[in-house]
Amino acid sequence: MTTSQPTLLRRLRTRHAVLIGLSSMIGAGLFAAFAPAARAAGNGLLIGLAVAAVVAVANATSSAQLAAQHPTSGGTYAYGRAQLGPWPGFLAGWGFVIGKTASCAAMALTFAAYVAPAGWERPLALVAIAVITAVNLRGITRTATLATVLVALVLLALAATMIIALTAHIGPWHPIAPGSLLAAGPYGILQSAGLLFFAFAGYARIATLGEEVVAPSTTIPRAIVIALGAVVVLYGVVAVLLLRGLGADQLGTASDPLAQLIAATSQPALAPIVMVGAALASLGALLALVAGIGRTAMAMAREGDLPRALAAVHPVHRVPYRAELAAAVAMALLVLIGDLRGAIGFSSFGVLVYYFVANASALTQRDTYRRYPRALAWVGLIGCAVLVATLPWPAVLAGVAVFAVGVVARLVSHRGR
């Protein structure tokens, strides 16, 4: 007699999926990515933001279309395997796992940058990883519930921040002359777009939850479009406020840009509002990222592309607990040895490869499953290739090296079988 293995349960509805996507994107973008993007492009980050948004929309439509056809865990790892074959699927899954592990380290460090006393940033980042992993291990409904609470509090803090920035005296506003948008040149603008793409990639978390969403063929596409549309508008408003209030030079060196924006107003005592919002947003992003990594790693382990032990689902809480624990250990190591800018660049490399495979997969879908024009998948495919080539060279070299390690490990593992 055989005993069936525990499986994931369909518990999430559209509002849950939207909130998980929002919590991923808001934390990543607003409180981490604008500073390195300003360092690369100055005021041109506004054009970089537009480019990143266009590529993100193209990627989102491909992801939504694929999710409707393949409602399973693993996101583009599963889509790539089904549409293109095992190797493209592996590259997508490996890119997601390593890229989003770096994202988790970036979110933990961002959380600590806003709330930790000097010298305590890394220890507090490690505590954040431990707490969020513990919540995820309790089940996907607890993840969604906490994501709902965090997003609501973050949006309140952001609303207060924008009202203060617009109404409190901030000294002379920094001009954004049309010529300054292009001063960094095409390379700087595209590099900023690649870094800002890190901020949009949260909608992938929705697709990775395919086995836990009710009516996934309709829920996932709808949730992706809603979450991404809301975030594009929010990022645009915040980017203009930061450039006008701080200027590109100060923004480029800021570890906590929104807090510095409020500190520059006539109401600096209200800066703790931003600090609380940033901390909560970073935790919300970390929460959703850990869930996404666990599901993708589980899908890869099922196929033998990662150790099969990682495919285990907890019999009570119905989560891929071994995959999430392994990811938490990797995040902790990155927090100990990495830095925020490096983590963002490395994450963008892995995720852009992931979406390159997603768009290539969407191009192979039959018309029966096509919901959006094929041209959008081409825009996403070309856009990902261009942006990954213009990332900071240390991030590119590190990304290539880690992908090479993954390829060699898979070759050795499969040859051994």
Higher pLDDT, 107 or 168: 107
pLDDT score of 378: 97
Terminal Cα distance for the chain, rounded: 27
List pLDDT tens digits, range 180-196.
899 899 999 999 999 89
Buried b (16+ CB within 10 A) or exposed e, 159-195: ebbbebbeeeebeeebebeeebbeebeeebbbbbbbb
pLDDT score of 70: 84
pLDDT score of 1: 40
Indicate the pLDDT class of residue 2, thresholds 50, 70 and 90: very low
pLDDT score of 359: 96
Mean pLDDT of 10-39: 78
Ordered DSSP codes for 77-139: HHHHHHHT-HHHHHHHHHHHHHHHHHHHHHHHHHHHHHHSPTT-HHHHHHHHHHHHHHHHHT-
Indicate the pLDDT class of residue 209, thresholds 50, 70 and 90: low
List pLDDT tens digits, range 315-324.
887 888 999 9
List pLDDT tens digits, range 261-311.
888 877 777 778 877 887 888 888 788 788 888 888 888 998 889 988 998
pLDDT score of 4: 57
Mean pLDDT of 210-232: 80
Indicate the pLDDT class of residue 179, thresholds 50, 70 and 90: confident
Nearest Cα neighbor of 345 from 191, 158, 132, 201 is 191
Mean pLDDT of 192-201: 85
List pLDDT tens digits, range 36-47.
999 999 999 999
Indicate the pLDDT class of residue 7, thresholds 50, 70 and 90: low
pLDDT score of 146: 75
pLDDT score of 168: 72
